Amino acid sequence: MSDSKKLAIIATKGSLDWGYPPFILASTAAALGYEVEVFFTFYGLQLLKKKMDLQVSSLGNPGMPMPMPVPVLLQTLPGMQRMMTVMMKQKMKAKGVASLEDLRELCMEAEVRMIACQMTVDLFEMDTGEFIDGVEYAGAAAFFEFAGEADICLFI
């Protein structure tokens, strides 16, 4: 395995949309024979919860395609974020896009190493009992051991 290509990912976002890139890239690379490690830190730790309850927000993201234009003020109203989350999930299902849970499972099966940032876990007082099995805990220094040898290293 030591001469296979290596992909290192730092996953820092915890929303429904930004949860996809780490798992899509990790599973794709693993399928291509890459050795992959993902370091989950900051809001990215949300991606390790067994029950991911991720949402999507259009606030601050004018590039998000909308079925119809929605004024920013309306986007702040109660229920709007939840509604947009439901709509995006439905669209993904209709288009045959795998769920985040499925993609994550695919990564686990492909032996993608998943590492939770111990410092952020402590800072946010996260309950690691809510995390999926197989997660390792380490700091940034440990991650550099792999990243420093990686062919591709991405901060997502």
Where on the chain is the footprint of a copy of itself (CB under 8 A)? Answer: 5, 8, 10, 12-18, 20-21, 24-25, 28-29, 31-32, 34, 41-44, 46, 54-65, 71-73, 75-78, 80-81, 91-92, 95, 97, 119, 122-124, 126, 139-141, 144, 147-148, 150-156
Shortest Cβ distance from residue 68 to a copy of itself (Å)? 14
- Of 35, 31, 25, 47, residue with least CA distance to 5: 35
Compute and round to an integer the Cα radius of gyration of the chain: 17
Q: In what order do the strands lie in the sheet with 113-117?
A: 136-138, 113-117, 35-40, 6-11, 152-155
Minimum CB–partner distance for residue 134 and a copy of itself (Å): 21
Tell me whether residue 92 or residue 135 sits nearer to a copy of itself (CB atom).
92
Q: What angle do CA 91, 60, 131 make, to 5 degrees?
A: 60
Residue 146 CB, shortest distance to a copy of itself, in Å, is 11
Query: Kindly report the CA angle at 75 between 72 and 76, in degrees rounded to 5?
Result: 100
Which of 3, 29, 10, 16 lies closest to 111, judged by CA? 29
Q: How far is the CB of 86 from a copy of itself (least distance, A)?
A: 13
- For a copy of itself, which is the closer residue by CB, 75 or 99? 75
Q: Which is nearer to a copy of itself, 108 or 154 (CB)?
A: 154
